[in-house]
Amino acid sequence: MADVERRPLVVGNWKMNGLRKANSELLRITQDAVKLPRRIELVVCPPATLVANFAGLARGSRVRIGAQDCHPEPAGAYTGDIAAEMLADAGAIMVIIGHSERRSYHKETDAQVRVKTLAAWRAGMTAIVCIGETRAEREGRQTLDVVSRQLAASLPEGARGENLVIAYEPVWAIGTGLTPTAGDVAEVHHLIRNKLTERYSNAGASMRILYGGSVKPANAQELMKVESVDGALVGGASLKADEFLAIAAACA
């Protein structure tokens, strides 16, 4: 199979952080993003309260706006939930689905991740589906089995490079300052790529696989050089324009 060119993608997950005064940080990102190579794609996923505002501020810039979760249904009596169509209407073009914090704190299953992915597609958004093992699973040498199972059960048919991004985030590395070795990341990303191409053929080869889990400017260059790493899903470091852009620059 011929090599497929995949544009580097760097996604900032702001999690439950950010008030309207965070506009200044987004504006710094949009202003300085012009210094990056054009092939690098930048997406910022703020809390739902800021999606529409950020989408307006980012309009016409290199930066696009995403969201952090969506409900499977397009509308209904689901107090407190937000439909994918609502996020798209607010200006989101991507949505993070199945993040380990959702899987852990909200007990989301692979089956729920799958239907939320379908909801994102229904609304015309790209789904960023997160997978990854816990520390106990890593120490029990179950990483590849866990990742394989999550891929098989979380992804619907009909996936292609334009509507699906995979984010490998080892749970034990998120927010801890710990990161797997470059070799560990390469092993898992190689497995993911093989599983995607086995299931989706050429479309699987075009899907981007991001690494996430304590990505910082200090380790970004090493991680972004790993084969089959097509970018990063960045947590805390994405809240500061300088750090987020430095990580993006490591993809050049």
Kindly list the catalytic residues. Answer: 99, 169
Helix (H, G, I), strand (E, B) or coil at 105: helix
* Strand-pair category, 63-67 with 94-97: parallel
CB 91 within 8 A of CB 52: yes
CB 6 within 8 A of CB 161: yes
| Pairwise CA distance, residues 33 & 48, whole Å | 23
| Pairwise CA distance, residues 70 & 68, whole Å | 7
Element of type H or E holding 153? helix 143-154
Q: DSSP character for 214?
A: S
Element of type H or E holding 55? helix 51-58
| Pairwise CA distance, residues 164 & 208, whole Å | 8
CA distances from 92 to 85, 165, 209, 219 (A): 9, 15, 20, 29
| Pairwise CA distance, residues 46 & 26, whole Å | 10
If one counts every other C-beta atom within 10 angstroms of the C-beta of residue 37, the result is: 11
For the chain, how far is it from start to end, CA to CA, in angstroms? 25
